[in-house]
Chains A and B, each alone.
Chain A
Amino acid sequence: MNYSDITVWTIILVLGVGTFLIRFSFLGLIGERKLPDWVLRHLRYTPVAVIPGLIAPLVAWPDATGGSPDPARMIAAAVTALVGYLTRNVLAAVLSGMASLYAGLALIG
């Protein structure tokens, strides 16, 4: 990459301060004021609203394969989701997902 040292450090510092302010926004400014029910009803879904959307493109078009769909990774994603849903156990889901990925890569290539 062709950035000057100053540009790189500026990116790092602005990103750091910006990220902190995002994380601090509500915890720092709103404090213990009560949030209305409809806000809480939306906030309940933050993990399941954001994380699947963050992940779906990485599963559909993985960088490691240059963005072309890869059966081994898709099967591993499905196995992880299924084991996580059925067992409610994060570690079991991670382990079976990675095991499925290695098995898939070994079998399918």
Chain B
Amino acid sequence: MPDSNLKSIYFSGLRASAPFLLVVAPFAILFGVVAMEAGLDLAQTMGFTVVVVAGAAQFTALQLMSDEAPAIVVLVSALAVNLRMAMYSASMVPYLGAAPLWQRALISYSLFDQNYAACIARYELDRQMTLPQRVAFYLGATTPLLPVWIGFTLLGALIGRQIPPALALDFALPITFIALVGPALRTVAHVAAAFVSVALSLAFAGLPFNLGLIVAAVAALATGAEVERRFYPRGLP
């Protein structure tokens, strides 16, 4: 396959996830600011961002550490938030499972919500893609995210408390994720799954260790699959 082809696929991955810059960058800044305010030093703040590379889990850990929770509670809760990524990992297997081990390891290290969403959307749409093309697209979709996540956390840690609360950066995370889900509501089954997820996560919000989210997600998965089985017996439109 010609290199120019892979290069253009790399750039189409880059374009697909470039919009997420607008939300990943403020989110990373926010983590840097909040981590320093919570009392971590610069090395620890950057350690979190480079070693864990998972925004929602990092914020969960930070929140619990600010509440002086026992270390084991911090770990269990933050890992529970990340359990969804096992499902991402599994849903990538049909597309990337044949890649060399070192590539799968690097893909696993950098698997965010955003590049996952961008890649799955493309892989589902374009079934003819070859493995190198899929890897090139993943690389493209990850390029704007990982360095920006690390670099802007550093920026946030350095500028500290100078960000005015009026910018309401706290809401950048919900906005990003909602924006991702809106276009994904393609069928009745997707809508039903999302509805169950919202309803149960609110109903079980009181459960400790983020178990409410896990309960909601498992029930929503089952709902989506069951609605699909009943409404689309010949496969999705």
Q: Taking beta carbons and an 8 Å cutoff, which residues of A are in contact with B?
A: 1-3, 5, 7-16, 18-20, 22-28, 30-35, 38-64, 73, 76-77, 80-91, 93-95, 97-98, 101-102, 105
- Of B19, B22, B79, B90, the contact of A26 (CB 8 Å cutoff): B90
Neighbouring A residues of B175 by C-beta, 8 Å: 76-77, 80, 93-94, 97-98, 101
Give the contacts of B1-41 with A (CB-CB under 8 A): 19-20, 22-23, 38-40
Neighbouring B residues of A40 by C-beta, 8 Å: 91, 94
Query: A20, B39: Cβ atoms under 8 Å?
Result: no
Neighbouring A residues of B75 by C-beta, 8 Å: 11, 14-15, 18
Complex alpha-carbon distance, A1 and B41, angstroms? 11
Neighbouring A residues of B179 by C-beta, 8 Å: 80, 83-84, 90-91, 93-94, 97
Query: A62, B53: Cβ atoms under 8 Å?
Result: no
How many A-B residue pairs lie within 8 Å, measured between CB atoms?
A: 291
**Which residue of A is nearest B190, CB measured?**
A48
5 example contacts (A-B, Cβ-Cβ < 8 A) are as follows A15-B78, A25-B90, A41-B228, A45-B220, A54-B81
Query: A7, B71: Cβ atoms under 8 Å?
Result: yes
Neighbouring A residues of B105 by C-beta, 8 Å: 24, 28
**Which residue of B is nearest A78, CB measured?**
B178
Query: B85, A23: Cβ atoms under 8 Å?
Result: yes
Complex alpha-carbon distance, A48 and B178, angstroms? 10
For A35, A76, A97, the residue with the greatest tally of chain B CB atoms inside 10 Å of its CB is A97
- Of B22, B79, B97, the contact of A94 (CB 8 Å cutoff): B22
- Of B68, B108, B166, B197, the contact of A2 (CB 8 Å cutoff): B68
Query: A31, B97: Cβ atoms under 8 Å?
Result: yes
